[in-house]
Structure 1
Amino acid sequence: MTLSTKRSSACLFCAAVLLVFIRPVRAETVYESTIRPLIQKYCFSCHGGEDVSGDVDLLKIRTQQQALDQFEVWESATELIRDSVMPPEDQPQPSEAEKEQILRWYQNRFVDSVQAHPGHFRPRRLSAHEYRNTLHSVFGFSLDVAIIEAEQTISEKSLVMKLLPTDPPGASGFKNDTSGNPLTTVVWDQYAYLVDFAIEKLFSAGGHPQLNRLIGSETDGTLSHQQAATLLRRIAQAAYRRHISDDVIARSLANLAAASSSELQRVTRQELKTVLMSPRFFYRGLMMQIPRDRIEPVDAFELAERISYFLWADMPDEELMRLAAAGSLTDPSVLEGQIDCMLASPKSRSLAEHLGVEWFSLDEIDQVSNNPPVADALKSQPIDYLHYLFTEGRPVLELIDSDVAFVNAHTAKYYPGDRRQLVAYKKGKGIEVERLPNQKIDLVQSVHRGGFLTIPGVLAMNRGPVLRGTWMLERILGDDLPEPPANVGQVPSNRRGENLTFRERFEIHRSNPTCAVCHDKIDPLGFALQYYDDSGAHLLVEKPGNKRRKNEAAVDVEQIDASGRLPSGESFTDFEELKQILATSQKEPVIRNVVERFLAYALCRKLEYHDRPTVDRILAKLLQSDGTFRDLIHEVCTCLPMRQTFIRSDQNSDSRAATGETTTSQ
Structure 2
Amino acid sequence: MIRILSTICLIISICFALSEQSAAQDLQHGFAIKAQPFLENYCTGCHGKADEFPEANFALGEFDSLEKVLIDREMWKKALDEIDSMNMPPEESDKPSAKERHDMMVWIDDVLAAPGKSGVRDPGDPVLRRLNRLEYNNTIRDLFDLDKDIYPFPERVPLRSRDYFQPAKDKMPDGVSLSWSENGTVNPFLRNGGIPGDNKAEHGFSNRGDVLNVSSLLLEKYMTLAARIVEHPELPKQSKRFKQLIDSPSAGSERDVARQRLQFFMNGAFRRPVENEEVDLYMQLYDHAIGQGNGFEDAMKKALTGVLTSPSFLFFIEPSGMTADPVRPLDDFELASRLSYFLWSSMPDQKLFEAAASGKLQTESGIEAEVRRMLDDPNSIELAESFAVQWLDLNTLISVRPDRKAFRNFYRGEKATLTMPYMIEALLLFETVLAEDRSVVDLIDPGFTYVDEWIAEVYGLKDELHAAYPEQFGEDAKKLEKKRKWGKAPSFFRLKLPDGRRGGVLGMGATLTLTSFPERTSPVKRGAWVLETVFNRPPPPPLPNAGEIKDVEDPSLTLREKLASHRDNPACAGCHNRMDPLGFALENYDGMGRWREKDGKQQIDSSGTLLDGRSFDGPAEFRRLVTERREIFVRGFVEKLLSYALGRQLEYYDAATVREIMEAARKEDYRFSTIVIEITKSYPFRNIRNVESEQI
**What is the TM-score normalised by the length of structure 2?**
0.73
Going from structure 1 to structure 2, the CA distance change for 1:453 and 1:43 (only over 3 Å counts) comes to same
Pick aligned residue for 2:347 from 315, 319, 328: 315
**Aligned equivalent of 1:194:** 225
2: CA distance, partners of 1:37 / 1:160: 62
Answering whether residue 137 of structure 2 is matched by residue 135 of structure 1, we say no
Percent of pairs with identical residues: 25
SS of structure 2 residue aligned to 1:411: helix
Name 2:277's counterpart in structure 1: 247
The 5 A counterparts of 1:327-406 are 327-366=359-398, 367-368=400-401, 371-406=415-450
SS of structure 2 residue aligned to 1:442: strand
Cα distance in structure 2, aligned partners of 1:146 and 1:516: 45
The one-letter code matched in structure 1 to 2:226 is V
The question of whether the paired residues in 2 share the 8 Å contact of 1:280 and 1:287 is answered with: no
| 1:113-512 pair list within 5 angstroms | 116-141=121-146, 142=148, 144=150, 152-154=180-182, 155-156=184-185, 157-158=187-188, 159=190, 162-170=193-201, 173-201=204-232, 205-206=236-237, 209-214=240-245, 224-253=254-283, 256=286, 259=290, 262-265=293-296, 266-286=298-318, 291=323, 293-366=325-398, 367-368=400-401, 371-413=415-457, 414=459, 415-420=461-466, 421=468, 423=472, 425-427=480-482, 439-463=492-516, 464-485=522-543, 486-494=546-554, 499-512=556-569
**Structure 2: distance between partners of 1:124 and 1:334:** 27
Structure 1: distance between partners of 2:512 and 2:386: 20
Matches of 2:223 and 2:199 in 1, distance apart? 21
Give the whole-Å Cα distance in 2 for the aligned partners of 1:475 and 1:436.
Answer: 34
Which of 583, 593, 599 in structure 2 is aligned with 1:536? 593
How many matched pairs? 578
Amino acid at match of 1:193: T
* Contact 1:373–1:435 (CA under 8 A) maintained in structure 2: no
Contact 2:207/2:647 (8 A) holds in 1: yes
Q: C-alpha distance in 2, partners of 1:450/1:372?
A: 25
The answer (yes or no) to whether the contact 2:87–2:611 under 8 Å persists in 1 is no
Distance 1:241 1:419 in 2: 47
- CA change 1:351–1:429 in 2 (3 A) is closer
Q: Supply the distance in 1 between the matched residues of 2:462 and 2:612 (Cα, whole angstroms).
A: 36
| Whole-Å separation in 1 of the counterparts to 2:631 and 2:104 | 24
Q: Distance in 1 between matches of 2:665 and 2:541?
A: 33
Cα deviation for residue 623 of structure 1 reads 2.5
> 3-state DSSP class of the match of 1:410?
helix
Aligned mate of 2:578, from 499, 521, 525: 521
Deviation (angstroms), 1:397:
0.8
Q: Is the aligned partner of 1:594 residue 2:637?
A: yes
- Correspondence 1:648 to 2:656: no
Displacement of 1:290 after TM fit?
5.9
CA 379–81 in structure 1, closer or farther in 2 if over 3 Å, else same: closer
Query: Following the alignment from structure 2 to structure 1, what is the Cα–Cα distance between the partners of residues 505 and 197?
Result: 27
In the alignment, is the contact (CA less than 8 A) between 2:144 and 2:239 conserved in 1? no
Q: Distance in 1 between matches of 2:312 and 2:75?
A: 33
Instruction: Pick closer, same or farther for the CA change 1:436–1:284 going to 2, 3 Å.
Output: farther
Measured in 2, the distance between the counterparts of 1:223 and 1:555 equals 81
Counterpart among 101, 109, 112 of residue 110 in structure 1:
112
How many angstroms apart in 2 are the aligned matches of 1:353 and 1:153?
16
Alpha-carbon displacement from aligned partner over 1:189-233 (angstroms, at most 9, x marks no partner): 111111102221379652562234447x8869x993233222211
Distance 2:442 2:452 in 1: 21
Q: Report the Cα offset of residue 446 of structure 1.
A: 5.0
Deviates more, 1:389-398 or 1:243-252: 243-252
State the SS of the aligned residue for 2:232.
helix
Where does the alignment leave 5 or more consecutive residues of structure 1 unmatched?
Answer: 1-15, 22-35, 49-62, 541-552, 651-666
- Please, which runs of 5 or more residues in structure 2 have no aligned partner? 1-34, 41-46, 59-67, 154-158, 161-178, 403-410, 517-521
SS of aligned partner of 1:183: coil
The separation in 1 between residues aligned to 2:564 and 2:109, in whole angstroms, is 36
Distance change >3 Å, CA 518–CA 324, structure 1 → 2: same
RMSD: 4.1
Aligned equivalents of 1:330, 1:100: Cα separation in 2: 36
Taking a change above 3 Å as real, the CA distance of residues 521 and 458 of structure 1, as seen in their structure-2 partners, is: same
| CA displacement, residues 542-583 of structure 1 (integer Å, 9 cap, x when unaligned) | xxxxxxxxxxx76346x2222211110111222211111100
Residue 518 to residue 280, structure 1, CA distance change in 2 (3 Å): same
Specify the code of the residue in structure 2 equivalent to 1:248.
Answer: E
Question: Can you list the C-alpha shifts for 1:392-414, whole angstroms capped at 9, x where unaligned?
Answer: 20111101101221112331211
Amino acid at match of 1:268: M
One of 596, 600, 625 as aligned partner of 1:555? 600
Instruction: Give the whole-Å Cα distance in 1 for the aligned partners of 2:152 and 2:198.
Output: 24
Is contact 2:449-2:494 (8 Å) kept? yes
Return the alpha-carbon distance in structure 2 between the equivalents of residues 143 and 219 of structure 1: 30
Q: CA deviation at 1:113?
A: 6.2
Paired residue type of 1:398:
D
Opposite residue 410 of structure 1, the aligned amino acid is W
